[in-house]
A and B are shown apart, each in its own frame.
Chain A
């Protein structure tokens, strides 16, 4: 009952016109980022953090969350209409979605995707409401050793799933940790790797690094020409699914929600894994599995429901334990920290109203996406008609603005440029970028928890073996990293297209 009361209070706060406007603008911007070629959700959200710097914390996080799940829908539009996923989680949708477009059923695919996204997102948010309090209380019992072990599990899972080689994924993670070490040491206060520059005492700007590594390097490596074809947007009448479409989609919605929500809870899993597993489930359990790959509605309904359930479910570890489950969530966590909020169990204790306002806004955002996106599909496709060089020029300008406005310093623009080149080099070397983002955000927290643990034990590493939860978690992490038998790897085609990897 307490939870319901708090949620209702959250709704009251989220439904002020300002917060509704932030959710609305966030949904629009998120969809645009999802649709645009050359900019993924990670860089897109990092890029828009400066827009929210002068907003109050609730408005800022509401807008960024709306951008986050808006990108998942935006990616679907290009998957279905152009056979080009705007973001990784929608890649699998392209298989059947584009086949449906070829036979004039693009509108139906987009409507089913939107409804599936709404169902998956809403049910996952209900899960967040139910899990928030108990998991939050559990989180308060977690000490530094357990936190350290949990972070290690999250990073090792992401490392196992990112890219083609685990060694290169580990290199990416280690580089991210080293970048996060730049600046004043959090425990002793000693400057590290600052090269004598005062500007580096606070570390390198998180936004500048992310925008450089993900955004600028994407623009630098983008080859225009592969996304030239633009399909005509479907009319309003073509958007309506038949009774058979609904009937066939319903079980896929249910399976997608279950898979996406469960995968979202596991730190290290990205949305693309959920949609891939959901497609696999459809191949196994759907009554019409023979039609998959040839324009079956289940091939759109399942993965799209799964990726939105994942997006909202992935907020549970962030809100309750303070652990980002994916690179995009890690950027969101960075935004929380920029606003002076530490996600995790203390969020509910110290900023209860704010936490519930954000949760309530997730429901509102899902409704807004459903209402806005299907009728506006014509607008989204018209964005794709803008020639890429024009888009690239404007995106580059916003990158400069984003990097500059974090500290109002040109130094950060140079940091962004340098990390753009670093990102380009990593892409050339086939080193996945996702582990780096996660370790970049988690690095300071991971180091602090490790050192606090060793402080507690007076320098003895036995503390990690004495505590059962910590030991089990570390063994799981070790098994993940060491096991070459892990079968959860993504197909090479998905890895290559995955902006989160």
Chain B
């Protein structure tokens, strides 16, 4: 019963083990990228009287990519990668890191580097690493305020400052 639930059918009607679905999806995405590159390059012009146009190289690459995906698909059917293994990962970790990075990137122009990075590090150190509060605050301060001054004063590389009025007025 469990086995029946764990397998499903692919486009050709053959049963697909669950581990192979990510590979099939990956192949489809890469083939679509190839198709997009090919179609997108047609409007750029493939050839002119001077020789190859702006779309020539991407068009060739698009076709090449689709051919490679087709070859890979055939190879997969003969010898599935599920057996040899790609890397697996912890989904909770992936989402936690990606979400925190997206929020940090979105907050940077408004809250500035020091405040947003302080909050980012506090989240990673306190909630994810579960280290002591004092230790987390000290490391976060070094990583935010310390790095800000290292870059802006010593290395003369500009980092974003807050644009929201109360924060920008106190130099954050």
**A interface residue numbers (CB < 8 A to B):** 50-51, 53-54, 164-165, 167-168, 170-171, 174-175, 177-178, 181, 185, 187-188, 190, 192-193, 216, 219-221, 223, 387, 389-390, 392-394, 396-397, 400-401, 404-405, 408, 410, 413-414, 417, 420-421, 424-425, 427-430, 447, 450-451, 454-455, 457-459, 492
> Contact at A54–B157, with CB atoms within 8 Å?
yes
Given contacts A174-B65, A390-B139, A417-B102, contact A53 B157 (CB under 8 A): yes
Name the one of A178, A392, A400, A429 contacting B61, with C-beta atoms under 8 angstroms. A178
> Contact at A164–B26, with CB atoms within 8 Å?
no
> Contact at A220–B84, with CB atoms within 8 Å?
no
Task: Provide a sorted-by-A list of 19 A–B residue pairs whose CB atoms are within 8 angstroms.
Answer: A167-B72, A170-B68, A171-B30, A171-B65, A175-B65, A178-B58, A190-B54, A220-B98, A390-B131, A394-B143, A396-B124, A400-B104, A404-B160, A427-B87, A428-B26, A429-B23, A430-B85, A450-B52, A450-B57
> Contact at B61–A181, with CB atoms within 8 Å?
yes
Given A181-B58, A193-B37, A405-B159: 10 more A-B contacts, CB < 8 Å = A50-B157, A164-B84, A178-B33, A178-B37, A188-B45, A393-B129, A393-B139, A396-B100, A405-B151, A430-B87
Report how far A455 CA is from B106 CA in the complex, Å: 45
> Contact at A400–B117, with CB atoms within 8 Å?
yes
Q: Which of B76-111 contact A (CB under 8 A)?
A: 81, 84-90, 93-94, 97-98, 100-102, 104-106, 108-109
Report how far A6 CA is from B11 CA in the complex, Å: 66
> Contact at A393–B125, with CB atoms within 8 Å?
yes
Residue ID in chain A nearest B41 by CB atoms = A192
Total number of B residues with any Cβ neighbor in A under 8 Å = 71
Given contacts A192-B54, A400-B117, A451-B51, contact A429 B44 (CB under 8 A): no
Write out, one digit per residue, whether chain B residues 2-44 have a CB within 8 A of any chain A CB (1) or not (0): 0000000000000000000011001001100110010011001
Q: Which residues of chain A are near B47, meaning CB under 8 Å?
A: 459
Q: Which residues of chain A are near B69, meaning CB under 8 Å?
A: 171
> Contact at B159–A187, with CB atoms within 8 Å?
no
> Contact at B97–A174, with CB atoms within 8 Å?
no
The A interface, classified by DSSP as helix, strand, loop or mixed, is: helix
Residue from A221, A397, A408 whose CB has the most chain B CB atoms within 10 Å? A397
Given contacts A171-B68, A396-B101, A428-B26, contact A458 B51 (CB under 8 A): yes
Residue ID in chain B nearest A55 by CB atoms = B155
Asked whether B120 is an interface residue with its Cβ less than 8 Å from the other chain, the reply is yes
Asked whether B162 is an interface residue with its Cβ less than 8 Å from the other chain, the reply is no
Residue ID in chain A nearest B101 by CB atoms = A417
Q: Which residues of chain B are near A193, meaning CB under 8 Å?
A: 37, 40, 58
Residue ID in chain A nearest B144 by CB atoms = A397
Report how far A168 CA is from B79 CA in the complex, Å: 14
Report how far A54 CA is from B159 CA in the complex, Å: 13
Q: Which residues of chain B are near A219, meaning CB under 8 Å?
A: 97
Total A-B residue pairs with C-beta atoms closer than 8 Å? 185
Report how far A484 CA is from B131 CA in the complex, Å: 52
A309 to chain B minimum Cβ distance, whole angstroms, is 31
> Contact at A393–B108, with CB atoms within 8 Å?
no
> Contact at B147–A455, with CB atoms within 8 Å?
no
Q: Which residues of chain B are near A178, meaning CB under 8 Å?
A: 33, 37, 58, 61-62, 65
A220 to chain B minimum Cβ distance, whole angstroms, is 5
Report how far A249 CA is from B151 CA in the complex, Å: 44
Q: Which residues of chain A are near B22, meaning CB under 8 Å?
A: 428-429
Q: Which residues of chain A are near B102, meaning CB under 8 Å?
A: 414, 417
B138 to chain A minimum Cβ distance, whole angstroms, is 11
> Contact at A393–B121, with CB atoms within 8 Å?
yes
Name the one of B51, B53, B84, B157 contacting A430, with C-beta atoms under 8 angstroms. B84
B18 to chain A minimum Cβ distance, whole angstroms, is 14
Asked whether B75 is an interface residue with its Cβ less than 8 Å from the other chain, the reply is yes
> Contact at B51–A459, with CB atoms within 8 Å?
yes
Residue ID in chain B nearest A460 by CB atoms = B51
> Contact at B151–A401, with CB atoms within 8 Å?
yes
Residue ID in chain B nearest A417 by CB atoms = B101
Given contacts A54-B157, A413-B105, contact A171 B72 (CB under 8 A): yes
Write out, one digit per residue, whether chain B residues 131-144 have a CB within 8 A of any chain A CB (1) or not (0): 10000000100011
Given contacts A192-B41, A192-B58, contact A417 B105 (CB under 8 A): yes
Report how far A193 CA is from B29 CA in the complex, Å: 17
Report how far A390 CA is from B109 CA in the complex, Å: 25
Q: Which residues of chain B are near A401, meaning CB under 8 Å?
A: 147, 151, 159
Q: Which residues of chain A are near B37, meaning CB under 8 Å?
A: 178, 181, 193
Asked whether B64 is an interface residue with its Cβ less than 8 Å from the other chain, the reply is yes
Residue ID in chain A nearest B88 by CB atoms = A428
Given contacts A167-B68, A171-B65, A193-B37, contact A428 B57 (CB under 8 A): no
Residue ID in chain A nearest B62 by CB atoms = A178
Q: Which residues of chain B are near A457, meaning CB under 8 Å?
A: 51
Name the one of B41, B45, B97, B157 contacting A220, with C-beta atoms under 8 angstroms. B97
Report how far A393 CA is from B122 CA in the complex, Å: 9
Report how far A216 CA is from B98 CA in the complex, Å: 9
Report how far A458 CA is from B54 CA in the complex, Å: 16
Report how far A457 CA is from B51 CA in the complex, Å: 9
Q: Which residues of chain A are near B169, meaning CB under 8 Å?
A: none
Asked whether B50 is an interface residue with its Cβ less than 8 Å from the other chain, the reply is yes
Name the one of A174, A400, A408 contacting B68, with C-beta atoms under 8 angstroms. A174
Q: Which residues of chain B are near A414, meaning CB under 8 Å?
A: 102, 105
Report how far A440 CA is from B114 CA in the complex, Å: 33
Report how far A447 CA is from B54 CA in the complex, Å: 10
Given contacts A175-B30, A193-B40, contact A454 B51 (CB under 8 A): yes
